[in-house]
């Protein structure tokens, strides 16, 4: 049991220390079976399965996983699980997902979860500003 918990914590630590702005490098065709399996994993009581499912949902940017991830972010007692859910929501990037991460900065009772949510939200804002600058530069170039 201790070994399993240690492995899970190391996995979650590795997830949270990765470059959070990294996007998937290859496009993968995601089947409905994959989506339903990941959703089922998010609803599992098995911490390892749940955290792995959250990670993959974020990597694949599955919008159908937003509601189960929101449930984890708001209701799970485990800080690491809430962090994994917040990271997945950040990577999905839909307005409701980003709003949930933003709200967790203020309302999560764990200082660690709040700080990491602030980091995810800050990264989101930086990326948004950079995207807006690129769009402005493209528009200026087009007008020349």
pLDDT of residue 132: 78
Domain count for the chain: 1
**Rounded Cα distance, 69 and 92, in Å:** 10
In a domain, 91, yes or no: yes
In a domain, 26, yes or no: no
In a domain, 38, yes or no: yes
5-19 pLDDT, tens digit each: 555 555 555 555 555
Region 100-128: mean pLDDT is 96
In a domain, 137, yes or no: yes
In a domain, 15, yes or no: no
**Rounded Cα distance, 33 and 70, in Å:** 21
- 136 — pLDDT class (breaks 50, 70, 90): low
In a domain, 20, yes or no: no
75-86 pLDDT, tens digit each: 999 999 999 999
- 100 — pLDDT class (breaks 50, 70, 90): very high
Q: Chain-wide mean pLDDT for the chain?
A: 86
Token pair recorded at residue 41 = 């994993």
In a domain, 111, yes or no: yes
DSSP string across 58-84: HHTT-GGGHHHHHHHHHH-S-HHHHHH
Query: The domain that contains 91 carries what CATH number?
Result: 1.25.10.10
In a domain, 97, yes or no: yes
Region 86-98: mean pLDDT is 98
What range does the domain containing 78 cover?
2-8+32-143
Q: What is the pTM of this model?
A: 0.76
16-34 pLDDT, tens digit each: 555 555 554 567 788 999 9
Question: What percent of the chain has a predicted confidence (pLDDT) above 70?
Answer: 76
41-63 pLDDT, tens digit each: 999 999 999 999 999 999 999 99
pLDDT of residue 70: 98
Q: 80: exposed, middle or buried (C-beta count within 10 Å: 0-12, 13-18, 19+)? A: buried
Q: Is the pLDDT of residue 117 over 90?
A: yes
């Amino acid at each position: 049991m201790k070994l399993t918990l240690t492995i899970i914590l190391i996995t979650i630590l590795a997830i949270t220390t990765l470059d959070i702005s990294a996007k998937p490098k290859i496009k993968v065709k995601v089947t409905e079976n994959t989506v339903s399996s990941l959703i089922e994993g998010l609803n599992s009581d098995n911490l390892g399965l749940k955290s792995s499912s959250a990670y993959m949902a974020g990597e694949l940017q599955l919008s159908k996983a937003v509601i189960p991830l929101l449930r984890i972010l708001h209701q799970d007692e485990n800080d690491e699980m809430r962090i994994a859910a917040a990271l997945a929501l950040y990577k999905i990037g839909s307005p409701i997902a980003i709003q949930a991460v933003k709200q967790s900065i203020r309302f999560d009772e764990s200082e660690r979860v709040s700080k990491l949510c602030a980091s995810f939200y800050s990264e989101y804002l930086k990326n948004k500003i950079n995207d807006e600058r690129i769009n402005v530069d493209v528009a200026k170039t087009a007008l020349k």
